[in-house]
């Protein structure tokens, strides 16, 4: 059915259509507020994810699967927040911008339709007034003709009136009749014209205008329906990606390996020293200054416990060289084996962390590409490829770098010297090979100590001791876990503090005493001999 003459209440239609436009604007405002909620929610989720991201000082966290799983969850949550931003952006472009533009269009169109309607109404009213004027003129002319006719007849019957006056009255009556006849024809003609116009007004012009207003109103209702559908679709489009984010969190949770993590703890905190052997009987009857018997030196010790001034090749000096004495290489070869292993592992963990970050980015982009493939209207799947290629290249570089720090088993042990080394003879100690300075002062003893466990001093600067052996202390532990001891005038070096029990002399110099000038110039640790090659 169409709106026609029966719907001729222009005022009511004007009110109804204005209310419809107001409703569109109210709905647009509603969607705007919804997008603000989405964007605020996304911002809060992003901030939460950022707040709990590990700090630089917490880099150790990356070693453990449960920490990595939580970090993955934070990254997925960041992507999750991004999807709520997509809702906001799409509702802004597909609903708010569209309806704002449409509301302006419909206002202009409505104004035009009602302007045409008012104009048509005014036209028919003007025509009606013109018809009324024609009718009244015809009525007046008829009355004047009657009056002229009666006056003529009156004069014609009066014998006292001259013939000339009667003739004049007759002509006047005749003229009035002619005028009345003309008015009648004019009125008749205009009436016919008006009836045609009135017919066209009520059956063509006004119905057409109403029809346009009706079409406009139906289109507005249809647009409301489309927008409501879009409102749901914009939300529905992100559900697959939200699902992938949640899948990522589930996968991260499933990647947790409790046994792996507990073994990492063991790796992190093991000391690198062998556990002590059985405690043996202590014989206090033996002399204080006893020397190590030849039988207590095993073959391996006779190899390693060498003349400190011998020309041994490429011995690693640890941990007694001041940092400025050794140029550190990237492989931490200046460190003791266990510490070196830990440093290398930490380096590998750092690189793995970077690899994980690149992989997380790759996963997020892959998800996006999958969604683009399924929903091309959301974006071009190929646009993601250059970034994916770049990430693959980065991962390859990082993996190659990590491989450089992988250390094969057994590489931590020192190469035995190719030359057969003999035990130092007292007379050779005078030769000056021990240090560059021949006039090196001998440090005073500050107490004695007893070796609780055997220790093979295979590295430069250390000294071998047998279990229960008594030695002089010449320098107390400075906080690095090593004590400097002397066996006799020729043999001195460092032993792990945990391997000896120290008895300080009451009149000994306090900890941190100033060493003699000759030692101060080179630091308080032994310097490498002239023939030692430092890596």
pLDDT tens, position by position, 267-288: 777 766 667 788 888 777 755 5
Give me the DSSP letters along 340-355. Answer: HHHHHHHHHHHHHHHH
Biggest alpha carbon–alpha carbon distance for the chain? 195
For the purposes of burial, counting CB atoms within 10 Å of the CB of 26, is it exposed (0-12), middle (13-18) or buried (19 or more)? exposed
Asked if 449 and 470 count as a contact pair (C-beta separation under 8 A), the reply is yes
pLDDT for the residue numbered 334 = 67
For the purposes of burial, counting CB atoms within 10 Å of the CB of 326, is it exposed (0-12), middle (13-18) or buried (19 or more)? middle
**Distance separating alpha carbons of residues 319 and 175, to the nearest angstrom:** 144
Residues paired with residue 483 on neighbouring β-strands, in sequence order: 495
Band (420; pLDDT cuts 50, 70, 90): very low
CATH 1.20.1270.60 fits 9-258, yes or no: yes
| pLDDT, averaged across the chain | 80
**Distance separating alpha carbons of residues 125 and 202, to the nearest angstrom:** 12
For 298, the 3-state DSSP assignment is: coil
pLDDT in tens, 155-196: 989 888 899 999 999 999 999 999 999 999 999 999 999 999
pLDDT for the residue numbered 505 = 83
**Looking at residues 321-341, what average pLDDT do you find?**
57
Asked if 367 and 86 count as a contact pair (C-beta separation under 8 A), the reply is no
Give me the DSSP letters along 355-404. Answer: HHHHHHHHHHHHHHHHHHHH-GGG--GGGGHHHHHHHHHHHHHHHHHHHH
Distances (CA, A) of 349 to 53, 57, 165, 183, 405: 17, 14, 137, 112, 10
Q: Which of 176-190, 328-342, 459-473 has the highest mean pLDDT?
A: 176-190
pLDDT in tens, 194-223: 999 999 999 999 999 999 999 999 999 999
**Looking at residues 83-87, what average pLDDT do you find?**
96
* More confident position, 311 or 481: 481
Lowest mean pLDDT among 286-295, 362-371, 477-486: 286-295
- Work out whether strand 492-496 and strand 470-475 pair parallel, antiparallel, or are unpaired: unpaired
CATH 2.30.30.40 fits 447-512, yes or no: yes
pLDDT in tens, 394-410: 999 999 888 888 755 54
- Phi, psi for residue 483 in degrees, rounded to 5: -120, 135
Q: Is 80 exceeded by the pLDDT of residue 520?
A: no
**Distance separating alpha carbons of residues 57 and 61, to the nearest angstrom:** 9
**Distance separating alpha carbons of residues 83 and 320, to the nearest angstrom:** 57
Q: Cα angle vertex 318, ends 317, 319, to 5°?
A: 145
pLDDT for the residue numbered 173 = 94
Lowest mean pLDDT among 81-85, 179-183, 340-344, 406-410: 406-410
Where do the domains of the chain lie? Answer: 9-258, 337-403, 447-512
Lowest mean pLDDT among 163-167, 227-231, 515-519: 515-519
What is the Cα Rg of the chain in Å? 55
Distances (CA, A) of 471 to 201, 261, 284, 285, 512: 128, 43, 14, 15, 20
């Amino acid at each position: 059915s169409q709106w026609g003459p029966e719907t001729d209440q222009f005022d009511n239609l004007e009110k109804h259509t204005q209310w419809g436009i107001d409703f569109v604007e109210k709905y647009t405002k509603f969607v705007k507020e919804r997008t603000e909620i989405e964007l605020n929610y996304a911002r809060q989720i992003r901030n939460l994810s950022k707040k709990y991201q590990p700090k630089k000082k917490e880099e150790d966290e990356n070693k453990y699967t449960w920490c990595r799983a939580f970090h993955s969850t934070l990254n997925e949550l960041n992507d999750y927040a991004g999807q709520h931003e997509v809702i906001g952006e799409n509702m802004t472009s597909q609903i708010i911008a569209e309806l704002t533009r449409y509301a302006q269009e419909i206002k202009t169109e409505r104004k035009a339709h009602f302007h045409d309607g008012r104009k048509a109404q005014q036209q028919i009213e003007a025509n009606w007034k013109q018809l009324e004027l024609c009718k009244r003129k015809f009525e007046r002319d008829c009355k004047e003709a009657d009056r002229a006719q009666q006056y003529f007849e009156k004069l014609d019957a009066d014998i006292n009136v001259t013939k000339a006056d009667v003739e004049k009255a007759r002509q006047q009556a005749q003229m009035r009749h002619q005028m009345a006849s003309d008015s009648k024809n004019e009125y008749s003609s205009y009436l016919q014209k008006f009836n045609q116009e009135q017919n066209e007004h009520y059956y063509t012009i006004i119905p057409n205008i109403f029809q346009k207003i009706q079409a406009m109103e139906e289109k507005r209702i249809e647009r409301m329906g489309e927008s409501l559908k879009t409102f749901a679709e914009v939300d529905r489009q992100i559900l697959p990606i939200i699902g992938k984010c949640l899948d990522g969190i589930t996968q991260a949770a499933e990647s947790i390996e409790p046994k792996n993590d507990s073994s990492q703890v063991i790796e992190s905190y093991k000391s690198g020293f062998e556990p002590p052997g059985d405690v043996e009987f202590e014989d206090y009857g033996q002399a204080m200054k006893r020397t190590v018997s030849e039988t207590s030196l095993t073959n391996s010790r006779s190899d390693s416990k060498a003349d400190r001034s011998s020309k041994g090749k490429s011995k690693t000096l640890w941990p007694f060289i001041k940092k400025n004495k050794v140029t550190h290489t990237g492989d931490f070869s200046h460190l003791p084996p266990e510490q070196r292993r830990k440093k290398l592992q930490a380096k590998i963990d750092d690189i793995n962390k970077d690899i994980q970050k690149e992989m997380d980015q790759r996963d997020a982009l892959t998800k996006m590409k999958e969604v683009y493939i399924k929903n091309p209207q959301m974006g071009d799947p190929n646009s993601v490829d250059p970034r994916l290629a770049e990430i693959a290249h980065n991962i390859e570089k990082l993996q190659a770098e990590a491989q450089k720090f992988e250390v094969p088993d057994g590489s931590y042990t020192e190469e035995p010297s190719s030359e057969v080394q003999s035990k130092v003879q007292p007379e050779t100690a005078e030769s000056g090979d021990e240090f560059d300075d021949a006039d090196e002062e001998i440090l005073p003893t500050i107490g004695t100590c007893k070796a609780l466990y055997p220790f093979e001093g295979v590295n430069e600067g250390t000294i071998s001791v047998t279990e229960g052996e008594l030695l002089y202390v010449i320098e107390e532990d400075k906080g690095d876990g090593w004590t400097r001891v002397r066996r006799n005038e020729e043999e001195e070096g460092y032993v792990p503090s945990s391997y000896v029990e120290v008895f300080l002399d009451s009149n000994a110099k306090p900890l941190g005493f100033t060493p003699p000038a000759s030692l101060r110039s080179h630091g308080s640790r032994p310097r490498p001999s002239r023939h030692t090659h430092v890596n």
